Amino acid sequence: MGFRLPPMNTLRLFEAAARLGSFKQAAEEVHVTPSAVSHGLRTLEHWLGAELFQRDARGLTLTQAGEAYAAEVHHALTILASATEVFPGRRKATGTLSVSVAPTFATRWLLPRLPKFAERYPDISITIDTARRHVDFLTEGFDLAIRMATSSRPTESWAELVAESFVPVCSPDLLRKHGLRDEIRFTGQVPLIHVTAASEDWAAWFQAKGLAAISGCRSINVDTIQLAAEAAIQGLGIAIGRKPVMDDYIAAGDLVEIAGPPVPVATRYWLVGTHKSFDRPEIKSFRNWILQELKPQAPNPASSGSYIGRMAVNGPSVSSRLIVHGQA
């Protein structure tokens, strides 16, 4: 016995209109005219024998029956869309994306990986904006933003991407220069690099390690996380490495982790959009891709072990010991 269903196109029109709350916006999403949406929904209501929308001077609202049916139709279409994703020959997502991204995350993490996104989704054009400001999706035309925050906000759609963690980093030369062999000493002879906009980073790291902050230590102050990394690469001191944006520096051998393992912190990177935008195919594709890229890598067995006393450092043939105020 076959399924007794209304015309599939009317279900698509109904789901879009119910989700967006507008015949006009539903028409734009499905690429038909508003009158076609209206006609399709009347066809669906006739087939069901029930009113799904209330139409009055105030606009368009779902009836009680419409609300219940909308939830079920959305769920069913989501299952169908997910099942379709596994077929490589399916019609690919197309369109354009405009994404506002924090500068350091854009430069150090996103841009080096975008060629893989372009290869996988050649029909999606993407624009990256790194202006340091709060963006207005409605007036500025952005589809998404990647932001740091300790928690999500209730007014927009927030998808958690990855949690930050802190680990001190320095250049390999600085690691070899100070202390015996590959040990490094947190004393006045090794400056700590501070980011003025994140001045609490070092204090948070010392507290997480149960260590007293160093008093009277020389310091270098810079205004961005990326500049702190560059200063550390040049051997000017030790910086707080904020992972994952420092991962490529470490993988390339430009920086080495010391006094690990990384300390988890409250801040996270979030993919932010609007409730409506997250249902667009190109945005779903970008979201799925970036989450896949941010999946944690398997730990390196060579860098595992006890971190009490002598501490392993990620990287070939390198180890370090944290010494503060003469105590290991």
Q: Is 145 helix (H, G, I), strand (E, B) or coil?
A: strand
Strand pairing class (184-186; 319-324): parallel
- Tell me, yes or no, whether 122 and 16 share the same domain: no
How far does CA 58 lie from the centroid of its chain? 38
Determine the pLDDT at residue 92.
56
Q: pTM for the full model? A: 0.57
Q: Tell me the residue type at 251.
A: A
Whether the CA torsion 314, 315, 320, 322 is positive or negative: it is: negative
Determine the pLDDT at residue 67.
93
Q: Is 23 helix (H, G, I), strand (E, B) or coil?
A: helix
Q: What is the dihedral of CA 263, 267, 270, 272, to 10 degrees?
A: -170
Burial class of residue 204 in the structure, from the number of CB atoms within 10 Å of its CB (0-12 exposed, 13-18 middle, 19+ buried)? middle
Determine the pLDDT at residue 327.
28
Q: What is the mean pLDDT of each run of 10 residues along the chain (328 residues)?
A: 84 89 82 86 94 81 93 88 69 74 87 90 87 70 84 71 89 78 59 83 83 75 89 92 88 87 86 77 87 63 28 28 31
Determine the pLDDT at residue 73.
93
Determine the pLDDT at residue 88.
62
Specify if 2 maps to a domain. no
Closest to 246 in 3D by CA, of 260, 288, 298, 312 = 260
Of 21, 53, 84, the one marking the end of a domain is 84
Determine the pLDDT at residue 35.
87
- Tell me, yes or no, whether 283 and 197 share the same domain: no
- Tell me, yes or no, whether 29 and 76 share the same domain: yes
Tokens representing residue 136 in the block = 């207005």
Specify if 280 maps to a domain. yes
Specify if 285 maps to a domain. yes
Determine the pLDDT at residue 303.
34
Specify if 302 maps to a domain. no
Determine the pLDDT at residue 186.
62
Specify if 216 maps to a domain. yes
Q: Are 124 and 78 in contact (CB under 8 A)?
A: no
φ/ψ (deg, to 5) at 17: -65, -40
Q: What is the domain extent for residue 206?
A: 165-264+308-324
- The CATH number of the domain holding residue 284 is 3.40.190.10
Q: Are 200 and 154 in contact (CB under 8 A)?
A: no
**Rounded CA gap, 32 and 13, in Å?**
9
- Tell me, yes or no, whether 317 and 223 share the same domain: yes
- Spell out the residues 6+ positions from residue 55 whose beta carbon is closer than 8 angstroms to its own: none
Determine the pLDDT at residue 32.
79
- Tell me, yes or no, whether 245 and 191 share the same domain: yes
Q: How many domains does the chain have?
A: 3
